[in-house]
Amino acid sequence: MNSLLCWRPVSCVLVVLSLASSAAAGPRVIVKNGRITGGARADTLVIEDGLISAVGKGFQLPASSSGTADVIVDAKGGVVVPGFHDAHIHMQGGGLSLVRAELAPARTLPELQKIVKDYATTHPDRPWVLGRGWAYTLAPGTMPTAAMLDAVVADRPVFLRAYDGHTGWANTKALQLAGITKDTKDPADGEVVRDKKGNPTGSLKEGAQDLMEPVLPKPTREEKKAALLAAALHCKALGLTAVDDIVGDDDAFELWSELEAEGVLPLRVKISPPLEGDLDQYAKWRDKLKSSRLVSFGFLKGFVDGVVESKTAFMTAPYVATATPPAPVGELGRSLIERDKLMAMVEQAHARGFQVALHSIGDGAVRLSLDAFENAVKKHPDIGVRHRVEHIEVLHKDDAKRFAALDVVASMQPFHANPFGDEPETGPWAENLGPERWPMTMPWRSVLAAGGALTFGSDWPVFTANPLHGFAVAITRRDDQGRPKAGWTVHQIVTVDEALRAYNVERGELDGPARDVGTLRPGQKADVVVLDPTVRLDDPASLWKGKVAAVIVDGVVR
């Protein structure tokens, strides 16, 4: 039985620490009748002034020093865990997706067409039909076309982003409004998919999506702010108490700060802007946010490659030429940023003490990212910055040991390994890679076995932000129906303890595993989640169905 879930006969004692308050004095919070993870036989947790002050069983509490009545949270036998941390999430995109067409449920083209048509019918006042979440398997053997959307919505422009955000799908009206024609040139970092005559078909890969930007409706500042708050409330309800928000513009700094100042922010947020931005401005925000309680500066995010499904992920060996659609013989994908430029940008950020996180899907991109970090550390060895590689869908076996050697964090999203059925080795992702590479995909165990650090997130709105669902995939490599029965590439699964650590303790921060948050012990910041009594961390079925009973952030029941 997992050590987090077995109750050893060890006597528990009340431990109360006299520490500097991390929060304004308020009501004492007592979580009772719980199964406290990491606290042998402990069933009670006490929170004072934003900190955990006691963990134990069967003790008598003195009167509250605040002079106010205690807030009692009855766990009713539910598991009590440190608040889940999402190390990779897009809060504005997620918040906006909550009011746009949700395409993820569609498994076939007719299902998607129905969602789009129904959305257009129920939102006649919206000049565009926007949505996200379609899968590449909707159009087997090809990329989706404008004609497929024209069949259900032809009178209004439609633009839908793939689940991973790396491909856009437009109807004819949208292509016309954007002026995308046979004569449109491909951008350096993308591709307009064309038919045999050179006409655009409706799919826009990677940077080609930017050709649509001049005509797409832009959310107002207030709409952005509302989206961030909606996203935060959504994530909090799922048990997330902290997120690393990857942002696209500087508005996020002011908007998150305003939400905190207004007292409506329900979780902790680390803001992570683009690597290509203004380092001087970032330095100002980093200093300004040091005084904030819930909002802080995160890392600088860069893109090294694309995705496997569209063959834009950068590989060390060619894609399988027999996949459908076929890849040219010797096709490796490519880096979205020239090697020397990447080296210089990472070095400059490192020299100024900024943490860098690089989107790297293919094993070639992962290797290039590690090379960039190694170069920066060699040139500035006196600066202690802990960098991150994001996603790592494919890892070359020779590079697993480099994570520990360079103290680089592997930031991965367990739900990305969801098999979605009995045949996870079919479809463009698996076919493009080929069976020789499958054993090193989503390589959580490989990183840990080589001594590397692993942190988990969701990449929402690419996939669900629900950490319980990610947890279930992490410990089984099976889907919500238990498929495939034997799991998929199960040699890469992690234990319950390791998954909990990746979601709670190892947060990919500059100075290593969290020092003051992530475990349930006296002196830690009181970010706590109480799960429904039916949920067990070692029972995948209960995780898929699991609910969150209570969320405490910074010592406050939210």
Collapsing DSSP to helix, strand or coil, 170 comes out as strand
Superfamily of domain 299-517: Metal-dependent hydrolases (3.20.20.140)
Q: Where does the pLDDT of residue 375 fall: very low under 50, low under 70, confident under 90, or very high at 90 and above? A: very high
Q: Where does the pLDDT of residue 166 fall: very low under 50, low under 70, confident under 90, or very high at 90 and above? A: confident
What's the CA dihedral at 355, 275, 411, 88 to 10 degrees?
A: 110
Q: Where does the pLDDT of residue 5 fall: very low under 50, low under 70, confident under 90, or very high at 90 and above? A: very low
pLDDT at 2: 35
Q: What is the mean pLDDT of residues 493-518?
A: 93
Looking up tokens 């955000």, which residue turns up?
Answer: 165
Q: With 50 as the cut, is the pLDDT of residue 433 above it?
A: yes
pLDDT at 40: 75
Q: What is the mean pLDDT of residues 84-90?
A: 98
pLDDT top residue among 107 and 194: 194
Q: Where does the pLDDT of residue 327 fall: very low under 50, low under 70, confident under 90, or very high at 90 and above? A: low
Which regions of the chain carry the CATH code 3.20.20.140?
299-517
Average pLDDT, the chain: 92
Looking up tokens 């490599």, which residue turns up?
Answer: 477
Looking up tokens 């910055």, which residue turns up?
Answer: 385
pLDDT top residue among 374 and 142: 374
Collapsing DSSP to helix, strand or coil, 318 comes out as coil
pLDDT at 209: 96
pLDDT at 15: 38
Q: Give residue 405's Cα distance to chain centre.
A: 25
C-alpha angle 67/72/76, rounded to 5°? 165
Lowest mean pLDDT among 7-16, 81-90, 375-384, 443-452: 7-16
Q: With 80 as the cut, is the pLDDT of residue 254 above it?
A: yes
Q: What is the mean pLDDT of residues 530-555?
A: 97
From the candidate CATH numbers 2.30.110.10, 3.40.640.10, 3.20.20.100, 3.10.310.70, the one assigned to the domain spanning 128-212: 3.10.310.70
From the candidate CATH numbers 2.60.40, 2.40.50, 3.30.300, 3.30.110, the one assigned to the domain spanning 84-94+220-298: 3.30.110
Listing DSSP states for 505-518 in one string gives T----TTSS-SSSS
Which regions of the chain carry the CATH code 2.30.40.10?
1-82+520-558
pLDDT tens digits along 27-55: 999 999 999 998 778 999 999 999 999 99
Which regions of the chain carry the CATH code 3.30.110?
84-94+220-298
pLDDT at 348: 98
Q: 1-82+520-558 has which CATH code?
A: 2.30.40.10
Q: With 60 as the cut, is the pLDDT of residue 393 above it?
A: yes
Q: What is the mean pLDDT of residues 421-434?
A: 92
pLDDT at 107: 87
